[in-house]
Amino acid sequence: MARAPNILFGLQLPSRPPFDTWAPTSVSRVGAFVLSFRRKLCMPRCVVARRLHFNAAHRLHNPARSDQWNQETFGPCNNPNYHGHNYELDILVEGEIDPETGYVVDVAILKRLAESTIVAHLDHKNLNLDVPWFKDRLPSAENIAVFCWEQLAPRIPHGRLTRIRLWETPRNYVDYEGR
């Protein structure tokens, strides 16, 4: 049986002997090096998630607008006596799996970072009165998510923060991806 010519996209490719005459019987040193190098460059990637909880009170009120506008826009969230939420915060970090630990990032370290940089500043606080970051910003779920990102993203030791998901209620959440 005649072999088909080695042609690809109209170009003649160099011919090579049939597989069984050139295939090595064991992995060569060069092959092992290439495989090792490829594994180092192309480690599998994962997204690691950690969920935290905090409670906080806030009031959505834009002082540049009228009381009527604020009431119509924010409804019960404009209560002059504030209102509270039991927030759930999902932190997602993406990166290559470290071959020595099997981790993208140690979730215990991620938990400690989040508790010291986010929860310690927001838990059982009135966001309007107790958190300086909200002095000139409305403490909406969107802005709280941005605050969480800004506190945590520069401190992630391995991988990169890819998403903050802040659950304000069991049915309402905000995603922020740093943009």
DSSP string, 26-76: S--HHHHHHHHHHHHHS--EEEEEEEEEEEEEE----TTS-HHHHHHHHGG
Could you say which of 53, 72, 124, 177 is catalytic?
Answer: 124
What is the pLDDT at residue 19?
47
58 catalytically annotated: no
User: β-pairing, 160-169 with 83-96?
Assistant: antiparallel
Residue with tokens 């400690």: 112
148 catalytically annotated: no
Please give the Cα distance from 25 to 48 (Å, whole number): 41
What is the pLDDT at residue 22?
47
Q: Which CATH number does 45-176 carry?
A: 3.30.479.10
124 catalytically annotated: yes
Phi, psi of 32 (to 5 degrees): -65, -40
What is the pLDDT at residue 14?
54
The two three-digit tokens of residue 130, written as one number: 């107790």
Ranges in the chain, pLDDT < 50: 19-23
| Residue at 126: amino acid letter | N
Could you say which of 58, 85, 148, 168 is catalytic?
Answer: 168
Locate the domains of the chain by residue range: 45-176
Could you say which of 58, 61, 77, 121 is catalytic?
Answer: 77
The two three-digit tokens of residue 44, written as one number: 């599998």
What is the pLDDT at residue 33?
59
For residue 54, give the nearest of 108, 141, 124, 148 by alpha carbon: 124
Asked if residues 125 and 57 have their Cβ atoms less than 8 Å apart, the reply is yes
